[in-house]
Amino acid sequence: MKLQFDERGLVPVVVQDRITGQVRMLAWMNQEALHQTLDSGLVTFFSRSRQALWVKGETSGNHLKLHSLSADCDGDTLLALVDPVGPSCHTGRQSCFFQAEDGETLEPQPSAALFELSAV
């Protein structure tokens, strides 16, 4: 797979649940994150704000287990099909894409009880 990284050495990654088809999130990878993802089977990103590698679920336990990785026709975007373990959004939602254009919430925020149950 030939990839076109941007001027910062990054490529966007669309993360999709391989079973449901739900788009979970969009994040960025550099070459090192890509290699670590392929080696470990756990999706690893590059945090633009911290300028460091970030294994999704490293602190929360909500990992993204890689099923497959493919590039788009231009080689400048990746699609990661994953088996998610828990929610993908830092808000506790399954997907980061929950805000409709009219401002409505498409997915209700889980209650604190769900977070407590997931910790058991």
- The CA distances from residue 37 to 47, 66, 119, in Å, are 14, 8, 25
Contact 42, 57 (CB under 8 A): yes
Number of C-alpha atoms within 13 angstroms, CB side, residue 116?
A: 3
- pLDDT the model gives residue 49: 92
Q: What is the pLDDT along the chain (120 residues), one digit of tens a residue?
A: 899 999 999 999 999 999 999 999 999 999 999 999 999 999 999 999 999 999 999 999 999 999 999 999 999 999 999 999 999 988 888 888 887 777 666 555 554 444 455 555
- pLDDT the model gives residue 45: 98
Domains belonging to the chain, first-starting first, are: 11-118 (3.10.20.810)
State the pTM of this model.
0.82
Task: Locate all alpha helices (DSSP H) within the chain, ordered by sequence.
Answer: 31-40, 112-118
Tell me if residue 46 falls in helix, strand or coil: strand
Strands 78-84 and 23-29: unpaired
